[in-house]
Amino acid sequence: VQAPSSDDSFDGLRLRNVTKSFGSFTAVDDLDLDVPRGAFFALLGPSGCGKTTTLRMVAGLETPTRGSITLAGTDITYAKPYRRPVNTVFQNYALFPHLDIYENVAFGLKRRKVSGVDAQVRQMLDLVELESQARKKPTQLSGGQQQRVALARALINEPEVLLLDEPLGALDLKLRRAMQIELKRIQTEVGLTFIHVTHDQEEAMTMADTVAVMNAGVIEQMGAPEELYENPRTTFVANFLGQSNLIEGEVKSRSSDFITVDMHGIDVSVPADRAHLDGDKAWIGIRPEKVLIGDAGEVLDAPGNSIPGGVVSDVSFVGVSTQYLVRMPWGQELQVFQQNTGHRRLYRNGESVELSWRPDYAFLLDHSQDAR
C-alpha cells in the first residue's frame, strides 16, 4: 500500500490536498494520492464520485481549486495539458476517421517533426497486434481494435503517465474481458504508469496492482485488490467490491489477536487486525462464499463460528455455485454461495440448516455507517 509519505525523492505521481469545487459543490475533496512510477493504478467508484474530475486535473483539463499535483518531484498543478508528460485514452477513442490506422498512430510524431517515425509506428502497431490492419480506416475495425489504435496513438508519444478513462466502456462483456488481459500485458511490456478510471469492480481488480476506492469525492480505501476484498475498512468498500453479509453485533471482549462479538446471542470471533471500530457496536462482515452451509446440528468441518437456527428461504443454481438465502432466527436473510464441487449436498427451500465460517474470514466495521 502506498501510504502517502512526505519525502521529496518520490518519482511517481503525487496529489496533495487536491480539491475541486464547482460552485458550492465539492466534486473532489482534499485528495492525497501517491501513484508509484510504473504502477497499474485503478480509481474505482460509482458514477459521480469524482473519478473523471481527478483524472482531468492530472491531465491538465481541469484546474484544482486547492492542492498540488507533482510528477517525479516537478509541480504540474497549473501546467498546460500539452506541457505535461501525460496522455489520455478516452472511452470514445477519438480517432481521426479520414486517416488510416497507420496515420492515426503516426499523427503525434509527424506533428512534432521527429525522425524515425516509420519504425516507431511499426513498433507500436506490433505492440497492439494491429500490423496487418495498418491501411484500414477506423470504421473498418471492431471496437476492441479501435481501442487498441487509441492506445497505440497515446503510447507513441512516450508519456510518463497514461490516463485511461473508462476505456473499455463501449465494448461488450466478452471483448471487455479480453481487452483487460491485453491492457495488462501492454502495461507490463511498456512499464509506464497507467491510471485507469472505472466503475466496474471486477475490471479494477483484474487489472490493477493498486485500487483506490472513491466515494463522494474522497478515497475510502486504497490497496491491493485482495487486501480491499478480504479486509475492507468501510461498509461502502465491503459492498462495492463484491457482496457482503453485514450482521449487527456488540463487542464482548478483546484480546490482542481476536475480538469476540455478541451476534444476536451467539459469540463470534473476528481477528483484531480486521476490526475497524470506533465504539463497541459493530457490523460483522462475512462474504457469502466464506460461509459454509450444513445440516442442522451438524458439526461442520471448518473450525469456526457455528451459527444454528437457519432456514433456507431461496435457492438459485448458477452453474459454478449454488446461491442460498438463509433466514436467521433474528429475521435477517444471509447470502451463502456454495461451490458446486459435487462433494456437498444441496439444500432445498424450507430446510433447517446450520451456518459456519472460519473466524479469520470475517471482518468488523463500525456500526455508525449505513449497511447498504
Return the residue of 1, 5, 17, 22 that touches ligand ATP, per CB under 6 A.
Answer: 22
| 317 near ligand ATP (CB under 6 A) | no
Concatenating the DSSP letter of every residue in 193-238 gives EEEEEES-HHHHHHH-SEEEEEETTEEEEEE-HHHHHHS-SSHHHH
| 45 near ligand ATP (CB under 6 A) | yes
CA dihedral defined by 213, 215, 220, 224, rounded to 10 degrees?
0
User: Measured in whole angstroms, how far is the alpha carbon of residue 204 from the centre of its chain?
Assistant: 4
| 84 near ligand ATP (CB under 6 A) | no
| 149 near ligand ATP (CB under 6 A) | no
Please identify, using beta-carbon distances, which residue of 21 and 323 lies nearer to ligand ATP.
21
| 49 near ligand ATP (CB under 6 A) | yes
| 47 near ligand ATP (CB under 6 A) | yes
For 229, phi and psi rounded to 5 degrees? -70, -45
Q: 321-327 and 25-35: which strand pairing?
A: unpaired
Nearest to 55 by CA among 37, 83, 33: 33
Residue with cell 483484531: 272
For 365, phi and psi rounded to 5 degrees? -125, 155
Provide the edge-to-edge strand list for the sheet that holds 86-89: 86-89, 161-165, 193-198, 40-44, 210-215, 218-223
| Minimum distance, C-beta of residue 27 to ligand ATP, in the bound complex (Å) | 3
| Minimum distance, C-beta of residue 51 to ligand ATP, in the bound complex (Å) | 4
Stretch that binds ligand ATP, among 1-9, 21-29, 202-210, 334-342 (CB under 6 A): 21-29
Site string for ligand ATP, 194-233 (x = CB under 6 A): -----x----------------------------------
| Minimum distance, C-beta of residue 49 to ligand ATP, in the bound complex (Å) | 4
Return the residue of 15, 16, 40, 50 that touches ligand ATP, per CB under 6 A.
Answer: 50
Q: Whole-angstrom Cα distance, residue 183 to residue 152? A: 11
Q: 275-276 and 363-366: which strand pairing?
A: parallel
Residue partners of 224: CB distance under 8 A and separation at least 6: 1, 209, 210, 211
Stretch that binds ligand ATP, among 20-28, 225-233, 306-314, 353-361 (CB under 6 A): 20-28
Please identify, using beta-carbon distances, which residue of 50 and 60 lies nearer to ligand ATP.
50
Return the residue of 5, 11, 17, 48 that touches ligand ATP, per CB under 6 A.
Answer: 48
Please identify, using beta-carbon distances, which residue of 14 and 199 lies nearer to ligand ATP.
199
DSSP 282: E
Point out which residues bind ligand ATP (CB under 6 A).
22, 25, 27, 45, 47-53, 199
